[in-house]
Chain A
């Protein structure tokens, strides 16, 4: 009696009977109480350049201590991290790394920030939250790469400690979210607006998949929505699809599609549009007012940085982002 619980963390809203596990596989109802089974138990721990997350306007050239546990709130058929996101926490090899240890490792490896990444950090919310609180006390920045599939209340609570978020806006149709990810678009858009309101530094990633979400009309619509609701300063990263997980028989994205998408986004008014992994001007940051190269990048490496005190060294225009 009364032992059924409902999780209110993400829009999935799993209703769980005793001993049942949530869809994200990280939460279980034990005798009428909901528990996280991944707290302090990450299975992926790495030191990555912050550009790899990708964050292009957030402490460029620094390293991020990156952690993730198994589990994810969505189940996208193209997931490149499926080995971690679709795994069951009980079946993965994990590290024993409570929040305190994360902080001390971050310092040891000389990282300026902690990144909650690889899989969906909402799935390990409690672990992320406690670590973020401790990090803030220690003057370490908190960043997350998320799909934005989280309810408003927990997101606002987290925002008090989060410094930056990179959100995957996977497509701009409900149909795509429904068929490919088994989720919905609306909560993601809502999260983006909430993050903007809470003044968290925001970047957006869009994975362009041939035939599934590469319609330029929709990309245009998406970019105009971003400009209108989040502002033209939000950096947008287009990334290239590779056959992964269940979509192993779909060819990778033609580079031409990505350059078209970038052009569409710039035409829609976005100021900072990047394409991952192609050696073109699309990986550099240009000053929107004087058009000079501000940050020259090669892959995840910074070649030159012409931003000082958050301003363009040439024309003194303020640059959106977190630079120190």
Chain B
């Protein structure tokens, strides 16, 4: 097995582990209500 294959396996493992976290990022109980006291910043 070459080093590249090893790397691939590592990336696979990592994505597997981080998958869990992503799925958890869902389901935020946020409710949007327009804020008071703010302004648009002009470009430049």
Query: Contact at B31–A39, with CB atoms within 8 Å?
Result: yes
Report how far A241 CA is from B28 CA in the complex, Å.
35
Query: Does B7 sit at the interface, judged by CB under 8 A?
Result: no
Report how far A30 CA is from B30 CA in the complex, Å.
12
Which residue of chain B has its CB nearest to the CB of A33?
A: B34
Q: Which of under 10, 10 to 19, 20 to 34, or 35 or more describes the interface residues of B?
A: 10 to 19
Of the residues A5, A37, A90, A127, contact of B38 by C-beta under 8 Å: A5
Indicate with 1 or 0, residue by residue over A1-23, a CB within 8 angstroms of chain B CB atoms: 11111111100000100000000
Question: Smallest distance from the beta carbon of A94 to chain B beta carbons, Å?
Answer: 6
Which positions 11-44 of chain B face chain A at CB distance < 8 Å? 28-43
Query: Contact at A6–B43, with CB atoms within 8 Å?
Result: no
Query: Does A32 sit at the interface, judged by CB under 8 A?
Result: yes
Question: Given the complex, which residues of A lie within 8 Å of B39, measured CB to CB?
Answer: 5-6, 8
Query: Does A184 sit at the interface, judged by CB under 8 A?
Result: no
Beyond A2-B43, A8-B38, whether A40 also contacts B31 by CB under 8 A is yes
The interface residues of chain B, by DSSP majority, are classed as loop
Query: Does A153 sit at the interface, judged by CB under 8 A?
Result: yes
Which residue of chain B has its CB nearest to the CB of A154?
A: B37
Indicate with 1 or 0, residue by residue over A285-300, a CB within 8 angstroms of chain B CB atoms: 0000000000000000
Of the residues A2, A9, A33, contact of B42 by C-beta under 8 Å: A2
Number of contacting residues on A, CB 8 A? Answer: 33
The interface residues of chain A, by DSSP majority, are classed as mixed
Which residue of chain B has its CB nearest to the CB of A1?
A: B43
Query: Does A129 sit at the interface, judged by CB under 8 A?
Result: yes
Indicate with 1 or 0, residue by residue over A33-67, a CB within 8 angstroms of chain B CB atoms: 11111111100000000000000000000000000
Report how far A37 CA is from B32 CA in the complex, Å.
5
Of the residues B30, B33, B38, contact of A9 by C-beta under 8 Å: B38
Query: Contact at B29–A125, with CB atoms within 8 Å?
Result: no
Which residue of chain A has its CB nearest to the CB of B35?
A: A34
Question: Smallest distance from the beta carbon of A23 to chain B beta carbons, Å?
Answer: 14
Query: Contact at A35–B36, with CB atoms within 8 Å?
Result: no
Which residue of chain A has its CB nearest to the CB of B42?
A: A2
Beyond A5-B39, A6-B39, whether A30 also contacts B28 by CB under 8 A is no
Query: Which residues does A use to contact B, with CB under 8 Å?
Result: 1-9, 15, 27-28, 30, 32-41, 89-90, 94, 125-127, 129, 151, 153-154
22 A-B pairs in the complex with CB atoms less than 8 angstroms apart = A4-B43, A5-B41, A6-B38, A6-B40, A6-B41, A8-B38, A9-B35, A9-B37, A27-B35, A28-B32, A30-B32, A32-B40, A33-B34, A35-B33, A35-B34, A35-B35, A40-B31, A125-B35, A125-B36, A126-B36, A127-B33, A129-B36
Q: A32-B40, A34-B38, A35-B32 are in contact. List 8 more A-B contacts (CB 8 A).
A: A2-B41, A2-B43, A9-B37, A9-B38, A36-B32, A38-B31, A90-B28, A125-B37
